[in-house]
Amino acid sequence: MKKVSLLIILLLMAVAPVLAIGEEKPSRQMDFSFFVDPVAGPELAEFELVLRNNSDMPLSFEFPTSQKYDITVLDSKKKKVYQYSEGKAFAQAFETLTIKPQESVKWKESWNYVTAAGERVKEGEYQVTAKLKAINVNGKPIADQSLLTDAKTMYVPGQNPVFMGIKTEGSKGKYKVIGQVRPLNGKFFYSVEDGHNQLVNETEVVLDSKYPQWKPFTLNIAIPENKLPQNGSVILNLYERSKDGEIIHTYPVLLERFNNN
């Protein structure tokens, strides 16, 4: 009986380390997301790229050069009309980007709709693909390559005959907009919205000139902070109205993006 008891004790001692290993907590997942948000304006497209650390530990992304990402735009025939990296030089040295838990890094780029051949692209749908150029995360290769790429569709408008050279400045509800306009009837309108709510109702602007003469203009726009979106974009819509009251020659302008994630 003593021999049997001794044998059981020895077996339990031998198995104990294995049980302890089996009870260890699983390794924390290196969870991250990468996406592109394209906004197609009348004269140029703006691309916001976001790399977010969704995990509970810091993530260090290793890049083989100073290039962190690339952006490619294809037309409806899958022909490339724009690539961010073309004509650019990048330092040929490894770089590391560390992002804290639950935080994001954002980059912004723009494209003025002109191809490498110097021609403006036609109105229509285009596919935007963003590629993160990281090769390792915390020293380990990225197994799921789909996490490094995001694709979106955007609609490029035709060239606007009434508004041009629009520029903006300001933030947090206070914006200044300058540009040139040549309205057919000597006046134009604007409103501001966030995609869900009207932040500034339709406002009429009367000028002392009209088409085809270009006229500089300035708008000062104020929106109470409590009306600004927590997540979303504030868009200024410039436009004319036809003699029948129909909205024509719309020119949307991105004033500011808000993202509290």
The model's pLDDT over 223-235, given as tens digits with 9 standing for 90+, comes to: 999 999 988 899 9
> Given this model, what pLDDT does residue 29 score?
53
- The pLDDT of residue 18 is above 70: no
Instruction: Please state which CATH number belongs to domain 163-259.
Output: 2.60.40.10
- The pLDDT of residue 42 is above 70: yes
* Residues facing residue 47 across a β-bridge: 38, 109
The model's pLDDT over 113-135, given as tens digits with 9 standing for 90+, comes to: 998 888 999 999 999 999 999 99
Mean local confidence (pLDDT), 38-58: 93
Domain ranges of the chain: 32-156, 163-259
Q: Which overall architecture, per CATH, does domain 32-156 show?
A: Sandwich (2.60)
Mean pLDDT of the chain: 88
The number of residues in the chain equals: 261
C-alpha span between 160 and 136 (Å, rounded)? 45
The model's pLDDT over 66-99, given as tens digits with 9 standing for 90+, comes to: 999 999 999 999 999 999 999 999 999 999 999 9
C-alpha span between 112 and 45 (Å, rounded)? 6
Compute the 3-state secondary structure of the chain and give helix, strand, coil in percent, each to the nearest 5.
Answer: 10, 50, 40
- The pLDDT of residue 199 is above 50: yes
Q: Taking the model in full, what pTM does it have?
A: 0.69
Matching fold, domains 32-156 and 163-259: yes
> pLDDT over 90 for what percent of the chain?
74
